[in-house]
Chains A and B, each alone.
Chain A
Amino acid sequence: SAVISQKPSRDICQRGTSLTIQCQVDSQVTMMFWYRQQPGQSLTLIATANQGSEATYESGFVIDKFPISRPNLTFSTLTVSNMSPEDSSIYLCSVEDWTAYYGYTFGSGTRLTVV
């Protein structure tokens, strides 16, 4: 199955600053997905990133706050901009994995705390 390397694994950031999260996949994938998991909550899809085009954002998420890059078929970044304590969450990237088990594989997550 696909292997995703997500960095950083955790960070503590000052409010008003930005953090860029990276996801590297060991195989080429068309779509990458970015999720947010607020403390004690389920996963919420932020956006879907297709290589070579603008990301598609879900309701409640905007590009100015969560800009996404997708420069090639194995890499994507999510930036959390102008952070506030409400942005403290786990952020996860995900890809479709139709090789081993036809499911979705997730990165190990980035645990972000904004102080």
Chain B
Amino acid sequence: AQKVTQAQTEISVVEKEDVTLDCVYETRDTTYYLFWYKQPPSGELVFLIRRNSFDEQNEISGRYSWNFQKSTSSFNFTITASQVVDSAVYFCALGGMKTSYDKVIFGPGTSLSVIP
């Protein structure tokens, strides 16, 4: 069965601190997609990144970086020098790759509060 675990329910950091959000997934598929989405208080879901299972290169985008380790089934997300605008719920998600239409399974989310 497919499953996404985000062990951290809530995290609070002081502005400018670095913070890492953990994501562990389970799947029997050999190929799959991993995603991170941000949901600010306004409620919309904002796409952050997609990673293919066969591409284990880490990625950096500005203050955001992602560490994908297939050996440990983890896809962690780090925010460097956090800002108040980073306060949101962050969801890690797992999608199939067998067809174009495999559904996406979302983790429970991590609520991040950045305190000024």
Please determine whether chains A and B interact with each other in the same assembly: yes
Query: A residues bordering B, Cβ < 8 Å?
Result: 30-31, 33, 41-45, 48, 50, 58, 90, 92, 94, 96-98, 101-106, 108-109, 111
Tell me the count of chain B residues lying within 8 A, CB to CB, of chain A. 18
Q: With an 8 A cutoff between CB atoms, is B32 at the interface?
A: no
Known: A30-B100, A48-B101. 12 other contacts (CB 8 A): A42-B106, A45-B105, A94-B104, A96-B101, A97-B47, A103-B47, A104-B104, A106-B37, A106-B45, A108-B43, A108-B44, A109-B43
Find chain A residues with CB under 8 A from B100 CB. 30-31, 96, 98
The complex places the Cα of A98 from the Cα of B95 at a distance, in Å, of 14
The complex places the Cα of A50 from the Cα of B44 at a distance, in Å, of 24
Q: What's the A-B contact tally at a CB cutoff of 8 Å?
A: 50
The complex places the Cα of A25 from the Cα of B7 at a distance, in Å, of 34
| Contact, CB under 8 Å: B101 / A103 | no
The complex places the Cα of A109 from the Cα of B107 at a distance, in Å, of 18
| Contact, CB under 8 Å: A42 / B103 | no
If over half of A's interface residues share one DSSP class (helix, strand or loop), that class is named, otherwise mixed; here it is strand
B85-116 contacts to A, CB under 8 A, are 91, 95, 100-101, 103-109
| Contact, CB under 8 Å: A43 / B106 | yes
| Contact, CB under 8 Å: A90 / B101 | no
B37, B47, B101, B104: which contacts A30 (Cβ < 8 A)? B101
Shortest Cβ gap from A20 to chain B (Å): 20
| Contact, CB under 8 Å: B101 / A104 | no
| Contact, CB under 8 Å: B43 / A48 | no
Find chain A residues with CB under 8 A from B37 CB. 106
Find chain A residues with CB under 8 A from B64 CB. none
Q: With an 8 A cutoff between CB atoms, is B63 at the interface?
A: no
Question: Chain B: which residue is nearest A96 at the CB level?
Answer: B100
The complex places the Cα of A49 from the Cα of B106 at a distance, in Å, of 19
The complex places the Cα of A98 from the Cα of B50 at a distance, in Å, of 11
A41, A48, A97: which contacts B103 (Cβ < 8 A)? A48
The complex places the Cα of A101 from the Cα of B37 at a distance, in Å, of 13
Shortest Cβ gap from B43 to chain A (Å): 5
The complex places the Cα of A46 from the Cα of B47 at a distance, in Å, of 20
